[in-house]
Every structure is written in C-alpha cells, then in structure tokens.
Amino acid sequence: MKRYTIYITLLLVLGALWQLQQNYGKTTVLFYGFAENKETEINLDFPVEVNDVLVTAGQKVKEGQLLIEATQSNLGRKLNTLDQKISALEAKNKIRIEDTNAEIKRLNAQIAAKENEILSKIKQLQVQRNINRSLAKDLESIDVPNNKTIDPLAIKIKNLKKELKLATQPLVVQVDQLEKSLWSGNAPAKAQLNQLENERNYYTSEASKLSVTAPNDGVIGNVFCKEREYIDEFTTLISFYEKNPTMIKGFVHENLILEVNEGDVIEVISHQHSDHRATGAVVGMGSRIIEIPERLRKNPAFKQYGREVLIEISPDNQFLQKEKVVLKMVKRNESSNVFTFLSSKF
C-alpha cells in the first residue's frame, strides 16, 4: 500500500513540476520583422506612348484616380478602318433593300395593270352576256323556238380568266422570291456587320485601358516611365502599394526556429510606437536558413542567421510600409507543436 502511495505522490509532484514549467518556464519568443504592403505592378498588354504622368513616387491616391494617360498609335487607325467598313456595309445593305423594294413595287404595279386590263374585258363580256340572256328570255315569251347553242361569250370569259392567271402567276412568284430575299440576303450582311461591331467594341475597350487608373486606395511605389516615352507591352509603368500593410516579414533566430510554426498567433508591435499593435497569424515559413537583415539584428555588427516567417495581418492597422516591428508569440498552434510531434514518434 505504501508503495502505491509513493507512486501516486511521485506522479503528483511530477505533474506539479510540469505545470510550473508550462506556466513559468517558457521562454518568451521575440523576434523582429518589417511591415509590407501588397505590391501591384501596373502594365498594359500592348505597346504605348506615354502622354502624361500624373503622379509621383510616394503619393497617396484614391481608387479610380487617373495615374497615366497614353496612346496606342495603331489603335486609332484600326477603329477608323472598322468604322469605314461598317458604314460601307450598312450603305450597301441599304441600297440592296431599296432596290429590292423598288423591284417588288414595280412587279406589283405590273400585276395590278394586267389584272385591271383583263378584268375590264371580262366585265364587258359579262355585260354583253347578260344582255344576250335578257333577249333570249323575251323570245321565249313570244313562242319563238329556242335554239340552244354554245355560249361563245362564256368561253371568252373562261379563256380570259386563264390568261389572267398565266399572266400574273409568274409575277407573283417573283414578288414572293424578292420578299424572301430581303430576309435571307440580310442574314450574311448582318453576320458580317456583327463581326465588325464586335471588333470595334474590343478595340474601344482597349482604348479605355489607355487611361491608367488606381485599382484601389493606396500609395505609388515607383514610376518607371516618363512623358513622350515609348513603352513595350507588359513593361511595368508604375508599382502600386495598398494603403496599409497586410503582411509582416519576420526573421526568427536559428536558435528559436522550432518555437515558431504555421498557425501560431503573433502580436505585432511597432518598434518606435509601442501603442501601434496588431494581431496576426503565421501563414508561411522559409525553407532554408538565411542571413538576417542588418536592420533586424540585435547587434548589427555581427551577422546572424535565421528563418524567414510570413505573418498575415488585417489591413486595419497603423503600420507604415517597411516599418520595423517586434513580433511576440501569443498562442501556439498545438497541432504543429514540436512536443506533439516528438511524442508521436515514441
């Protein structure tokens, strides 16, 4: 029984010692870094001539503010050529429609004239036939023998109706074909016109890119062009930084590299203004040991080596671009803790 009591007491003592070590034996992890704003390189995907540069390095700008005005010499010629092609195609199509409508009108007039001519003859024959019928009835009333013979006028009327159909039917067919051609003939012209208009819209949108504006609120980094200078496509015109830093680049000393892991929560404190603070998380770790920049060493005279650490912070902060900051461990990411790793090995 005594032996079990000793074991239990020993375990309690070890637990208490471990707890004290956790609470008071930890080394405060401190290292240095500097704030970095997200940098954007502004360029165009075609060569231009810079007309005017409206900003300078270090200048604060608002979203949509005009930075550079430029021109693309061949863009104007392309737009003028497309406008001329579109105008010529529209004029040609308009003339075709007008000519077709004029031909349809002429044929309809020809049909109407032929109908009037033949219908007038038919009407005259019908009048004559009615008179003949009236005389025949009168003869029957005075007992004159009725000689039934073929009606020549009826035959003439029937022939005239056939003539009317034969004379107008081909003209009606022509009119129908011309009316269909107004739509079928317009389809290729319309397709070609749409293609030209799409090209014009594309080059118009490209022309709007010649006015380079700020993508959002921020600060001009460097201006790499000047007025009347020809710039090749994809050549950087301006480097642009967001208004506030969103990333901290720190360098942890090689003796402490196992103390910092991805996911750890880090407090960021301005080296010059201790009231300027932010909290971030480690989002990246360098894959090799490098020389710590002189500015971030405790003693600049001696070279020191360590590991690069990237810490993401909210843009709602008071840090300046490249401002030196102190980085302090706040909370470890237990899933990547070295002790958890070691314990899993045994």
Co-location of 34 and 52 in the same domain: no
Please give the residue range of the domain that contains residue 268.
Answer: 27-38+242-343
- Residue 127 covered by a domain: yes
Co-location of 230 and 257 in the same domain: no
- Give the C-alpha separation, 204 to 48, whole Å: 15
Q: Considering all CA atoms of the chain, what is the largest pairwise distance in Å, rounded to the nearest integer?
A: 164
Q: Is the pLDDT of residue 8 over 90?
A: no
Co-location of 80 and 160 in the same domain: yes
Per mean pLDDT, which of 64-68, 107-111, 161-165, 332-336 is the most reliable?
64-68
Tell me the H-state helices in the chain: 2-24, 73-141, 152-184, 186-208, 338-343
Co-location of 113 and 165 in the same domain: yes
Can you read off the two tokens belonging to residue 330?
Answer: 């706040």
Residue 16: band (very low, low, confident or very high) from pLDDT cuts 50, 70, 90: low
CA 60 distance to own-chain centroid: 27
Co-location of 231 and 153 in the same domain: no
| Secondary structure (H, E, C), 301-324 | CCCCEEEEEEEECCCCCCCCCCCE
Residue 287 amino acid letter: S
Q: What is the pLDDT of residues 72-92, one digit of tens each?
A: 767 767 778 888 888 888 888
Q: What is residue 272's DSSP assignment?
A: S
The CATH number of the domain holding residue 54 is: 2.40.50.100
Overall average pLDDT of the 182-200 stretch: 78
Q: What is residue 187's DSSP assignment?
A: H
Co-location of 178 and 296 in the same domain: no
Co-location of 252 and 321 in the same domain: yes
Burial (Cβ within 10 Å: 0-12, 13-18, ≥19) of residue 79: middle
Co-location of 311 and 278 in the same domain: yes
- What is the count of structural domains for the chain? 3
Co-location of 91 and 192 in the same domain: yes
- Residue 4 covered by a domain: no
Q: Which residue has the higher pLDDT, 189 or 96?
A: 96
Co-location of 261 and 316 in the same domain: yes
Residue whose tokens read 């045994």? 346
Co-location of 270 and 300 in the same domain: yes
- Paired residues of 242 in beta bridges: 218
For the chain, the straight-line distance linking the first and the last C-alpha, in angstroms and rounded, comes to 31
- Residue 3 covered by a domain: no
Mean pLDDT of the chain: 82
Co-location of 307 and 251 in the same domain: yes
User: Final residue of a domain: which of 193, 225, 241?
Assistant: 241
